[in-house]
Amino acid sequence: MTDAPAPEPTGDLLAEIEALGATLSRAREQIGRRVIGQETVVDLALNALLSGGHALLVGAPGLAKTRLVEALGTVMGLDAARVQFTPDLMPADILGAEVLEQDAHGGRAFRFIQGPIFCQLLMADEINRASPRTQSALLQAMQEKEVTVAGANRPLPKPFHVLATQNPIEQEGTYPLPEAQLDRFLLQIDVDYPKLDAERAILMATTGLDDAEAEPVFDAPSLIAAQKLIRRMPVGESVVDAILTLVRCARPGEPEATQAVNRSVAWGPGPRAAQALMMAVRAKAVLEQRLVPSVADVVALARPTLKHRMALTFAAKAEGQTIEAVIDGLVAHAAEREAAA
């Protein structure tokens, strides 16, 4: 994949992008006081919020997933809530319900009691432990930013984001997330074990009397303004072509699909994947204090954008293939196609 010059932002837009990049640098610093050694994870989580989307955090227990969401709520100045997903959790436990009340005069009327979903940052902890019926309670909220209860549409606060966590180790008593819900997560963020130096710093920082606290950098209106600014950023044709090539090559049966995809992939990413990549590359550029995204950003975000939007066939799984390897092959194939064009 080769880069072609992208249109440079001018005037007020240039100043706004530079100012947002400086503010995000302070936000990362504050989050780093609470979450040590997970810089890539922090950047991807911020990317999802800047893009106006949701993120799925996948990692073993004890890797600071919950701590990260709490720090994000503080630093971004959002009204946060947490739901611990369990097998007996019901949709009403998330959305809320109408209750029949009697007033002092003996009259009766229904009153809606809001559930924890009426917040700006919802942490869905261990989302795969709830039944599909309860998981689906988030579908409308994640896509339309509103919920329907007792026939009434109720808008959610703005902005609204879901950061869900999932434990990939324990599979007993869990329910796989449906494909329609996975597609509504902008990014899948894999949380790995920290490196030696980072784990040493974690030990020293978290086992004493004092635990560092994060301070707010954003608030809800400033985050909404940042999300609008991201949408105004110019994107070069080479980046657009790279996104379309990558996504279309990942769909089995498409003319652009590779033999490896047709042989190994059961289903591929839809247009929402291309939309997610377009937003994510812009946010990545701002996070790195660059004015325009590049094709390298598309390559860097290919895995977190596509991994949860693709599935291997049973035969491919039996052969030991992985989605990560397929995506890496797609990136290499897209680069070869563009080089030959």
pLDDT in tens, 97-136: 888 887 777 778 888 888 899 999 999 999 888 888 888 8
Sequence-ordered alpha helix ranges (H) in the chain: 11-34, 39-50, 65-75, 91-95, 132-135, 139-144, 179-182, 196-206, 220-232, 237-249, 259-264, 271-287, 295-306, 314-318, 323-340
Apex 225 CA angle, 12 and 188, nearest 5? 120
Question: What's the pLDDT at 4?
Answer: 54
User: Two tokens at 119?
Assistant: 């917040």
**Residue 215 — φ and ψ, nearest 5°?**
-115, 150
Task: Identify whether 131 is part of a domain.
Answer: yes
181 pLDDT above the threshold of 90: no
More reliable by pLDDT, 253 or 11: 253
> Which CATH number fits the domain that encloses residue 231?
3.40.50.300
Question: What's the pLDDT at 296?
Answer: 92
Task: Over range 285-314, report the average pLDDT.
Answer: 92
Say if residue 7 is preceded by a cis peptide, omega within 30 of 0: no
Q: Whole-angstrom Cα distance, residue 203 to residue 269?
A: 40
Task: Identify whether 118 is part of a domain.
Answer: yes
Asked if residue 53 lies in contact with residue 223, where contact means CB atoms within 8 angstroms, the answer is: no
Task: Identify whether 169 is part of a domain.
Answer: yes
Terminal CA-CA length for the chain: 10
Indicate the pairing of strand 265-267 with strand 146-149: unpaired
Please count the residues of the chain. 341
Task: Identify whether 287 is part of a domain.
Answer: yes
Question: What's the pLDDT at 225?
Answer: 94
pTM over 0.75: yes
Question: What's the pLDDT at 339?
Answer: 65
Report residue 10's pLDDT band, with 50, 70 and 90 as the boundaries.
low
Contacts of 33 by beta carbon, 8 Å cutoff, 6+ apart = 71, 212, 213, 214
Question: What's the pLDDT at 184?
Answer: 92
User: Two tokens at 291?
Assistant: 């004015």
162 pLDDT above the threshold of 80: yes
Task: Over range 212-220, report the average pLDDT.
Answer: 89
Asked if residue 29 lies in contact with residue 42, where contact means CB atoms within 8 angstroms, the answer is: no
Q: Whole-angstrom Cα distance, residue 25 to residue 107?
A: 56
Is 87 in a helix, a strand, or coil?
Answer: coil
Q: Which domain holds residue 332?
A: 11-340
Task: Identify whether 290 is part of a domain.
Answer: yes
Asked if residue 234 lies in contact with residue 215, where contact means CB atoms within 8 angstroms, the answer is: no
Task: Identify whether 1 is part of a domain.
Answer: no
Domain count, the chain: 1
Task: Identify whether 125 is part of a domain.
Answer: yes
Task: Over range 150-167, report the average pLDDT.
Answer: 90
Question: What's the pLDDT at 334?
Answer: 74
42 pLDDT above the threshold of 60: yes
For residue range 249-280, what is the model confidence (pLDDT) as tens digits?
888 888 888 888 888 888 889 999 999 999 99
Apex 336 CA angle, 332 and 340, nearest 5? 170
Neighbouring CB atoms inside 10 A of 15's CB total 11
More reliable by pLDDT, 8 or 159: 159
- Give kind and range of the element (H or E) at residue 77: none
Task: Identify whether 72 is part of a domain.
Answer: yes
338 pLDDT above the threshold of 70: no
Mean pLDDT of the chain: 87
Question: What's the pLDDT at 172?
Answer: 65
For residue range 243-256, what is the model confidence (pLDDT) as tens digits?
998 999 888 888 88
Asked if residue 49 lies in contact with residue 74, where contact means CB atoms within 8 angstroms, the answer is: no
Percentage of residues of the chain with pLDDT beyond 70 = 94
